[in-house]
Amino acid sequence: MKWVLSHATDGLHHWLLQQEENTRSLIINLQRLSLRLIGITKRLFFLQVQGLLNKKILLRSEYGVVIGEAPFASKPSPGQLTINGKKLFHRIEDQKLVLLNSEKAVVGTSDLTQNALNNRFEFYSLLFGFAWFLTADVSEKDSLLPATA
């Protein structure tokens, strides 16, 4: 998988997560700190920084419910995040974002560009977006599609 910056305007960046079978989309509004994920479903989220000494970044749904959180570092560094109650770990190796589950098994990897590593909010948007597409978006697909026998 690979994050590709499709186009960017003043504060709006449109990213595509390219895979073999399909392409998913992430639109980041850096002025409003919002992200729109378009995959199997369409969702709108907001980023919010909380705390003074131990800052963390929260991922809130359009209804204000906290969906995910991660420590808010000054530059992209290894750490953990929680999304939909699932604890994941992340690290960056050679311009690749690697997500691991709680047993430290690789869940997914994605190529990043240098643009993604320069802006903290853009990095966290791509991190949460990637985690959402790998975990929550898949489970939503299962709940939307009827079971077949």
Strand partners, 96: 93, 111
Query: What is the C-alpha separation between 147 and 8, in angstroms, rounded?
Result: 40
pLDDT at 140 over 70: no
Cα-based distances in Å from 41 to 15, 22, 64, 90, 102: 16, 13, 18, 24, 26
Sign of CA dihedral 28, 125, 21, 97: positive
Give me 104's structure tokens: 């430290």
pTM over 0.95: no
Angle CA(72)–CA(77)–CA(81) in degrees, nearest 5? 55
Alpha-carbon distances, residue 114 vs 53, 72, 74 (angstroms):
28, 19, 16
pLDDT at position 74 is 82
Rounded CA-CA distance 116/29 in Å is 14
Q: What is the mean pLDDT of residues 128-139?
A: 80
Q: Which residue is associated with the tokens 């992340």? A: 90
What does the DSSP 8-state code read for residue 92? Answer: E
Which is more confident, 146 or 95?
95
Residue tagged 């770990």 (tokens): 89
Q: What integer is the mean pLDDT of 118-129?
A: 90
For 16-45, what is the mean pLDDT? 89
Alpha helical stretches, state H, 25-149: 114-118, 120-131, 137-144
Q: How confident is the model at residue 144 (pLDDT cuts 50, 70, 90)?
A: very low
pLDDT in tens, 64-96: 999 999 999 888 888 999 998 899 999 998 888
Q: What percent of the chain has pLDDT over 90?
A: 45
- pLDDT for res 26: 93
